[in-house]
């Protein structure tokens, strides 16, 4: 198996388009433009990127960004072994060499001094300097950089610099319209459409509480979890409490409100 093959997605991920995002992404990839995907937790950002990598037949290397991530974690470092030292490429360097899509998930979690290393790959240069190794990597013609983050968690300490933002094209993602979201749940999990619609109703009720006791509403991902539990034989009420309510809040009043919504929905 080649380096490219091990990073390719061989089975089509389920993705239901909400608009013209597939065509727009294809146009961005054709021009090798960097892409930024913004949207709330669990709304399908990562699934969309996986689907596009599959559709385009390109390797996908995903990096889950965090505040402890250093530039070396992205580009690579020297390691000690029995024969001395050897260089190990990081995921960004690997993607640039093999012509993959490098996806930096929740990029604002990374320190700003780390994210600046992507800049030379996002303009006409399409290069990646490996200062410690004394090498300048020229990106493969198929290479593309994609980043994602949740704008709802932006702050002065966790935001992208304008000098970074303005290197990307961008998509705004959100939770689907209710009918489409119910259709997605039904297709993803195999539950019937009526049950899916009831789950979406609960999700919508929780999203209306965002900013009124909830930091974030119930995501499409959590609705899929609830549907999966129900499909597996769990009664809808405890399934919903387990998958939709307990993960998102410890506030007793908010829990009671959502539990009542579940009881009202399922009788």
Q: Both 19 and 106 in a single domain?
A: yes
**Which of 172, 205, 236 is the last residue before a domain boundary?**
172
User: What does the alpha-carbon distance between residue 196 and residue 206 come to, in Å, rounded to a whole number?
Assistant: 16
Q: Both 23 and 140 in a single domain?
A: yes
**Which of 140, 172, 204 is the last residue before a domain boundary?**
172
User: What does the alpha-carbon distance between residue 11 and residue 23 come to, in Å, rounded to a whole number?
Assistant: 20
User: What does the alpha-carbon distance between residue 190 and residue 183 come to, in Å, rounded to a whole number?
Assistant: 10
pLDDT one-digit tens code per residue, 3-60: 788 999 999 999 999 999 999 999 999 999 999 999 998 999 999 999 999 999 999 9
Phi, psi of 129 (to 5 degrees): -75, 130
Q: What pLDDT, on the 0 to 100 scale, is given for residue 267?
A: 82
Q: Both 49 and 113 in a single domain?
A: yes
Report residue 125 as tokens: 């240069």
Q: Both 140 and 230 in a single domain?
A: no
Q: Both 19 and 118 in a single domain?
A: yes
CATH of the domain at 68: 3.40.50.300
CA distances to 123, 147, 156, 170, 245 from 166, rounded to whole Å, are 10, 13, 18, 10, 38
Q: Both 96 and 199 in a single domain?
A: no
Q: What pLDDT, on the 0 to 100 scale, is given for residue 156?
A: 46
Q: Both 62 and 160 in a single domain?
A: yes
Q: What pLDDT, on the 0 to 100 scale, is given for residue 153?
A: 65
User: What does the alpha-carbon distance between residue 86 and residue 19 come to, in Å, rounded to a whole number?
Assistant: 47
Q: Both 141 and 228 in a single domain?
A: no
Q: What pLDDT, on the 0 to 100 scale, is given for residue 1?
A: 52
Positions of the chain with pLDDT under 70: 1-2, 153-157
CA distances to 114, 196, 220, 252 from 226, rounded to whole Å, are 37, 10, 10, 21
Range of the domain at 241: 178-266
Count how many domains the chain has.
Answer: 2
Q: What pLDDT, on the 0 to 100 scale, is given for residue 15?
A: 96
Q: Both 123 and 235 in a single domain?
A: no
User: What does the alpha-carbon distance between residue 119 and residue 128 come to, in Å, rounded to a whole number?
Assistant: 9
Q: What pLDDT, on the 0 to 100 scale, is given for residue 155?
A: 52
**Which of 130, 146, 172 is the last residue before a domain boundary?**
172
Q: What pLDDT, on the 0 to 100 scale, is given for residue 152?
A: 73
pLDDT one-digit tens code per residue, 154-164: 554 577 888 89
DSSP state of 210: B
Report residue 121 as tokens: 């790959």
Chain length of the chain? 267
Report residue 139 as tokens: 């990106």
Q: Both 116 and 201 in a single domain?
A: no
Side by side, the strands of the sheet bearing 35-38 are 60-64, 101-105, 144-149, 35-38, 169-172
Rounded to 5°, the CA angle 218-263-236 comes to 70
Q: Both 161 and 88 in a single domain?
A: yes
Q: Both 8 and 88 in a single domain?
A: yes
């Amino acid at each position: 198996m080649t380096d490219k093959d091990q990073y390719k997605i061989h089975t089509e991920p389920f993705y239901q388009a909400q608009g013209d995002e597939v065509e727009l992404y294809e146009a961005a990839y054709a021009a090798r433009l960097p892409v930024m995907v913004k949207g709330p937790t669990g709304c399908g950002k990562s699934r969309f990127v996986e689907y596009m990598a599959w559709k385009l037949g390109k390797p996908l290397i995903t990096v889950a960004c965090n505040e402890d991530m250093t530039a070396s974690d992205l580009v690579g470092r020297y390691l000690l072994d029995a024969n001395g030292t050897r260089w190990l490429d990081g995921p960004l360097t690997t993607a640039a060499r093999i012509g993959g899509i490098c996806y930096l998930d929740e990029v604002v979690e990374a320190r700003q001094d780390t994210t600046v290393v992507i800049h030379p790959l996002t303009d006409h240069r399409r290069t990646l300097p490996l200062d410690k190794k004394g090498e300048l990597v020229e990106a493969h013609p198929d290479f593309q950089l994609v980043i994602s983050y949740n704008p709802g968690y932006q702050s002065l300490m966790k935001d992208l610099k304008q000098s970074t933002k303005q290197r990307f094209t961008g998509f705004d993602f959100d939770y689907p319209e209710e009918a489409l979201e119910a259709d997605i749940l039904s297709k993803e999990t195999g539950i019937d459409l009526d049950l899916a619609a009831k789950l979406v109703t609960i999700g919508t009720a929780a999203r209306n509480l965002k900013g009124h006791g909830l930091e974030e509403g119930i995501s499409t991902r959590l609705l899929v979890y609830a549907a999966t539990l129900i499909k597996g034989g769990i009664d809808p009420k405890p399934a919903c409490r387990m998958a939709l309510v307990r993960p998102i809040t410890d506030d007793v009043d908010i829990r009671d409100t959502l539990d009542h919504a579940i009881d009202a929905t399922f009788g």
